[in-house]
Amino acid sequence: MATPTEEIKTKLNFRRFKEGDNTWDDWGEQIFSQDGSHKCPTYIHKTPPCQGSCPSGEDIRGWLAIGRGQEKPPEGIDRDEYMFRRSTDANPFPSMMGRVCPAPCQDGCNRNDVDDFVGINSVEQFIGDTAIEKGFKFAAGVDTGKQVAVIGGGPAGMAAAYQLRRKGHGVTVFDENEHLGGMMRYGIPGYRIPRDKLDQELNRIVDMGVELRMNTRVGREVSVEQVEAEFDAILWALGCQKGRGLPVPGWEDTSNCVSGVAFLKAFNEGRMKVTADKVVCIGGGDTSIDVVSVARRLGHVKTVNPTDRPELVVRDGYVAHDTAITAAAQGSEVTLTSLFPKDKMMAAEHEVMDATTEGVTILDGVMPLEVIKGDDGRAVALKICNCTMDGMTPIPIEGTEQTLEADLFVSAIGQGGDMTGLEVMANERNFIDADKFYQVPGKTGHFVAGDIVRPHLLTTAIGQASIAADSIDHYLRHQELVKRPKVDVHHFDLLRKLHEAGLDPEQFDASAGDQRGTSEAKYAVHNFEDRSEQEVIPSSDLFLGYFEFVPRNKRIEDVPSAEEVLGHFHERLQALEEAQMISESKRCMSCGMCFECDNCVIFCPQDAVFRVNKKQSTTGRYVDTDYMKCIGCHVCSDVCPTGYIQMGLGE
């Protein structure tokens, strides 16, 4: 039986013990007697599941620790800039991604097993917006003299340009559009991605010394061979800005049947000011939600000249509506159809709920069968039926057919690459092949990242760009590509943190004789093991009993009702206030890393666990163990909330 919603909001989700398992068998034997295994505490760094779930691989736990004040910035840098630097080590777009990323990190958050996930996206938006307000900049690395062409100025291309400039390589971005941003600009409405903040995050990368060649399509204005001759390496980050049509009879070449990608681009370029009286969108993913939400906001005009029909604006690329016609706009009737039921739709749950609030009718569990045309050749209705799903294949249910009348039909069922003029790079699916290092197989010096590999999330494109930039760097320096970590993210590095704090280990002197004991030695990091590249820490390894119920600090969302939606283009998400950001950061359980709670120090019956001297202490080195006192009772491991302590050093 499902737990009532109100109970979920006010009660913890976990059980510390199974039914009846509520007493220690023998306290003396388990705690106060010496452990026969000879094991003592070892401090084990692991990757938290938020970070392991993030396709960009951000050090989320790290910048949350900075936000709550637990990890201190180095001298000369304030908290906000330190959070920004840690966040953008992986992702240069915190303001944008804090708004639109569907947040797989929050799905993975171990706090879900206590009360509710940490609002990672909301803190990331705070980081990004604060960085813009304070004018934080990026710095380029020492010039290597190498030049890289990046084909495409979207999230993958610009993220790669950022990482490559940090490594000192020259970067030139080619883009066929007038403005940078790719799908962030042309595929997502401005009320979700404010254009002023998008421009500032993009310009911050350009200001690193990135050259731009806009309105230039490789394969049309310039050939692949010309680019190869001019540059030392090429990164293909074309994106997928070509929508897929419905695979049903009557769709192909029907004027008022358009793709979701083209629909949103016409709107985001400012050319489409109104849409049709009745709109049907076929999809179920995030793009389809944007289509129907835009359609509800635009509305329609009652008397439309044939030249003002929205499909002409969408299809032409140059035709634009007169701004004056928006004054006469009335609400549109908008329907979204999905193969999957609402709770299994590809779009984020809150996006589906918002669309419903805005007056969109959602028909779930239905599949399109045929486009029905009128005498003039335009579509007048879409025939659909109920269906069940066999994996990703819809199975029609006979006898459930119905028709949906409309004036405009939008297919938002996926995207593909436009490889016109670039056929030499394309595979049979019209994408570009990539190996595990994001090299293009058989094309030396060519690399690829983003949707043109496989359409996915913006954050996925950013993560691929980071790996591709590493591969390009190795290629340009004539270095062998090394095996990527099993958990391939931007990890916390204790040695780097010690260096930042001026606590570098001493130089090892190989001529000083037998130095195998490291308990007191200063040349080694004592009693620490880094497993973050191999292991993600589950909630079962944490002491969840430490954490109290703390409600999530939620952002205010401006979601209009069905009556208010027409012409409503206000920004949807309002950033957290500073106090809310700090409070939300404190909800992070710091999985796999010490957050200085003192449990191990307080509960150790032998006083064997002690705080490191303040002058030698930093993140990851807050406590240590005196092995002359430790009896291996494992109390410290049991009471460690973050799973940072494990019993080791023995059998």
Q: What is the fold, at CATH topology level, of the domain defined by 147-241+417-476?
A: FAD/NAD(P)-binding domain (3.50.50)
SS (H, E, C) 169-195: CEEEEECCCCCCCCHHHHCCCCCCCCH
Residue 40: how many other CB atoms lie within 10 Å = 24
pLDDT at 1: 39
Query: Is it the case that residue 171 has pLDDT exceeding 60?
Result: yes
Residue range(s) in the chain whose domain bears CATH number 3.50.50.60: 147-241+417-476, 243-414
pLDDT at 34: 57
Taking each continuous run of H as one helix and of E as one strand, the counts in the chain are 21, 23
Query: Is it the case that residue 11 has pLDDT exceeding 80?
Result: no
Q: How confident is the model at residue 323 (pLDDT cuts 50, 70, 90)?
A: confident
Q: Are strands 573-574 and 556-557 parallel, antiparallel or unpaired?
A: antiparallel
- From CA 301, how far away is CA 566, in angstroms rounded? 12
- From CA 350, how far away is CA 559, in angstroms rounded? 11
Q: How confident is the model at residue 29 (pLDDT cuts 50, 70, 90)?
A: low
DSSP 233-254: EEEE-----EEPPPSSTT-TT-
pLDDT in tens, 324-360: 788 778 999 999 999 999 999 999 888 999 999 999 9
- How much helix, strand and coil, in percent to the nearest 5, is found in the chain? 30, 15, 50
pLDDT at 521: 76
pLDDT at 8: 46
Lowest mean per-residue pLDDT among 236-250, 319-333, 414-428, 570-584 = 319-333
Residue in this structure with the two tokens 């179920």, named with its chain if needed: 284
Q: What is the fold, at CATH topology level, of the domain defined by 243-414?
A: FAD/NAD(P)-binding domain (3.50.50)
Q: How confident is the model at residue 651 (pLDDT cuts 50, 70, 90)?
A: very low
Count CA within 13 A, CB hemisphere, residue 229: 5
Which tokens belong to 401?
Answer: 């057919």
pLDDT at 37: 62
pLDDT in tens, 100-131: 999 999 999 999 999 999 999 999 999 999 99
pLDDT at 15: 54
Q: How confident is the model at residue 2 (pLDDT cuts 50, 70, 90)?
A: very low
pLDDT at 30: 53
pLDDT in tens, 67-81: 999 999 998 999 999
Instruction: Name 416's Cβ contacts closer than 8 Å, sequence gap at least 6.
Output: 240, 242, 243, 244, 429, 430, 431, 455
The pTM of the full predicted model, rounded to 2 decimals, is 0.91
pLDDT at 600: 95
DSSP 139-153: ------S-EEEEE--
Query: Is it the case that residue 516 has pLDDT exceeding 80?
Result: no
Q: How confident is the model at residue 260 (pLDDT cuts 50, 70, 90)?
A: very high
* CA proximity to 368, closest of 354, 356, 383: 383
Distances (CA, A) of 255 to 43, 302, 314, 467: 65, 20, 10, 42
pLDDT at 319: 81
